[in-house]
Structure 1
Amino acid sequence: MSAPTPWAPGTEPVQGYVVLEHLTRTGWLDVYDAWSEERDCRCVIKVVRADHRGEKRLDERLLREGRWLRDFAHPHLVRGYEAFKSPEPLVVLETLTGETLSHLVHRLRRRPAAADVALLGVQMCSAVHYLHGRGLLHLDLKPANVVVDRGHVKVLDLSVARPPGPAPAGLGTCCYLAPEQARGGPLTATADVWGIGITLFEAACGEKPVACRARTAAADGHDTDDRYWQLEEAAPPVASRRRLPLALAAAVDSCLRADPSSRPTVGGLAAALKAALPE
Structure 2
Amino acid sequence: MELERIGPYVIERQIGAGGMGNVYLARHTETGRRVAVKVLSPALSREEGFVERFRREIDALKRLKNPHVVELYDSGVDGELYYYAMEYVEGETLNQRLRRQRRMPWQEVVEIAIQVCSALKAAHDAGIIHRDLKPSNLILTADGIVKLTDFGIAQLFATSKLTTTGSIVGTPEYISPEQAEGKRATKRSDLYSLGVLIYTMLTGRPPFLGKTTLDVIQKHRYGRFDRLSALVPDVPRRLEQIVDQLLEKDPEKRFPDAYVLSLRLKEVLKRAEREEKATVTHERDLGYDYDGEAPTVAVGKTKGAQGPGPATVMHNLMKAELDRTQQPTPLGRIFNSGWFLLACFVLLVVGGVWWFRTQPLARVVQEPMEEEPAPGEIDRLLELARHQQRLGDEARAERILSSLCTLLADDPKHERQYKLAQRRLEQLRSRRAERAERDELLKGSLDRAAELVEQGQPQKAAAICRSLLELYRDDTTAA
Q: Give TM class, smaller chain.
A: 0.7 to 0.9
Specify the alignment match of 2:183 in structure 1: 185
The answer to whether the 8 Å contact 1:166/1:187 transfers is no
CA distance in 2, matches of 1:112, 1:176: 18
Specify the alignment match of 1:45 in structure 2: 37
Evaluate the alpha carbon distance shift between residue 228 and residue 170 of structure 1 in structure 2; reply closer, same or farther with a 3 A threshold: farther
Q: More displaced, 119-128 or 185-194?
A: 185-194
CA distance in 1, matches of 2:216, 2:227: 24
Evaluate the alpha carbon distance shift between residue 65 and residue 46 of structure 1 in structure 2; reply closer, same or farther with a 3 A threshold: same
Evaluate the alpha carbon distance shift between residue 114 and residue 272 of structure 1 in structure 2; reply closer, same or farther with a 3 A threshold: same
Counting only pairs closer than 5 Å after superposition, residues 163-182 of structure 1 correspond to structure 2 as 163=156, 167-182=165-180
Match of 1:183, as an amino acid?
A: E
CA distance in 1, matches of 2:211, 2:225: 16
Evaluate the alpha carbon distance shift between residue 38 and residue 253 of structure 1 in structure 2; reply closer, same or farther with a 3 A threshold: farther
Following superposition, the deviation at residue 251 of structure 1 comes to: 1.1
Q: Are residues 1:90 and 2:83 paired?
A: yes
CA distance in 2, matches of 1:119, 1:226: 28
Evaluate the alpha carbon distance shift between residue 21 and residue 275 of structure 1 in structure 2; reply closer, same or farther with a 3 A threshold: same
Specify the alignment match of 1:236 in structure 2: 226
Following superposition, the deviation at residue 226 of structure 1 comes to: 9.3
Following superposition, the deviation at residue 109 of structure 1 comes to: 1.6
Specify the alignment match of 1:133 in structure 2: 125
Match of 2:96, as an amino acid?
A: H
One of 60, 81, 102 as aligned partner of 2:73 = 81
Q: Are residues 1:157 and 2:158 paired?
A: no
Aligned-residue CA RMSD (Å)? 2.2
Evaluate the alpha carbon distance shift between residue 232 and residue 6 of structure 1 in structure 2; reply closer, same or farther with a 3 A threshold: farther
Following superposition, the deviation at residue 67 of structure 1 comes to: 2.9
Question: Matched residue pairs, number?
Answer: 262
The answer to whether the 8 Å contact 1:81/1:93 transfers is yes
CA distance in 2, matches of 1:118, 1:183: 29
CA distance in 1, matches of 2:200, 2:265: 16
CA distance in 2, matches of 1:158, 1:64: 9
One of 8, 25, 47 as aligned partner of 1:55 = 47
Specify the alignment match of 1:218 in structure 2: none
Q: When you count helix as a share of all residues, which structure comes out higher?
A: 2
**Secondary structure in 2 aligned to 1:169?**
coil
The answer to whether the 8 Å contact 1:235/1:257 transfers is no
One of 212, 237, 248 as aligned partner of 2:239 = 248
Largest Rg, 1 or 2: 2
CA distance in 1, matches of 2:154, 2:240: 28
Evaluate the alpha carbon distance shift between residue 213 and residue 161 of structure 1 in structure 2; reply closer, same or farther with a 3 A threshold: farther
**Secondary structure in 1 aligned to 2:101?**
coil
**Secondary structure in 2 aligned to 1:27?**
coil
CA distance in 2, matches of 1:188, 1:27: 23
**Secondary structure in 2 aligned to 1:187?**
coil
Match of 2:224, as an amino acid?
A: A
Specify the alignment match of 2:328 in structure 1: none
Match of 2:21, as an amino acid?
A: L
Q: When you count strand as a share of all residues, which structure comes out higher?
A: 1
TM-score by length of 1: 0.86
CA distance in 1, matches of 2:39, 2:259: 35
**Secondary structure in 2 aligned to 1:186?**
coil
Match of 1:58, as an amino acid?
A: F
5+ residue gaps in structure 1? 216-223
Evaluate the alpha carbon distance shift between residue 235 and residue 6 of structure 1 in structure 2; reply closer, same or farther with a 3 A threshold: farther
Following superposition, the deviation at residue 212 of structure 1 comes to: 4.1
Counting only pairs closer than 5 Å after superposition, residues 192-271 of structure 1 correspond to structure 2 as 192-212=190-210, 227-243=217-233, 244-265=235-256, 266-271=258-263
Q: Are residues 1:17 and 2:17 paired?
A: no
Q: Which has the higher contact order (CA 8 A, sep 6+)?
A: 1
Percent of matched pairs sharing the same residue: 27
Following superposition, the deviation at residue 86 of structure 1 comes to: 4.0
The answer to whether the 8 Å contact 1:170/1:177 transfers is no
5+ residue gaps in structure 2? 158-162, 274-479
The answer to whether the 8 Å contact 2:167/2:183 transfers is yes
The answer to whether the 8 Å contact 2:255/2:261 transfers is yes
Evaluate the alpha carbon distance shift between residue 40 and residue 213 of structure 1 in structure 2; reply closer, same or farther with a 3 A threshold: farther
TM-score by length of 2: 0.52
CA distance in 2, matches of 1:27, 1:214: 20
Q: More displaced, 198-207 or 111-120?
A: 111-120
CA distance in 1, matches of 2:21, 2:164: 26
The answer to whether the 8 Å contact 1:45/1:90 transfers is yes
Specify the alignment match of 1:147 in structure 2: 139
CA distance in 1, matches of 2:78, 2:240: 49
Specify the alignment match of 1:118 in structure 2: 110
Match of 1:263, as an amino acid?
A: R
CA distance in 1, matches of 2:243, 2:41: 37
The answer to whether the 8 Å contact 1:142/1:195 transfers is yes
For residues 99-134 of structure 1, the C-alpha deviation after alignment (integer angstroms, 9 at most, x for no partner) is 11111011x125322111111111111110111111
**Secondary structure in 2 aligned to 1:209?**
coil
The answer to whether the 8 Å contact 1:82/1:93 transfers is yes
Evaluate the alpha carbon distance shift between residue 250 and residue 227 of structure 1 in structure 2; reply closer, same or farther with a 3 A threshold: closer
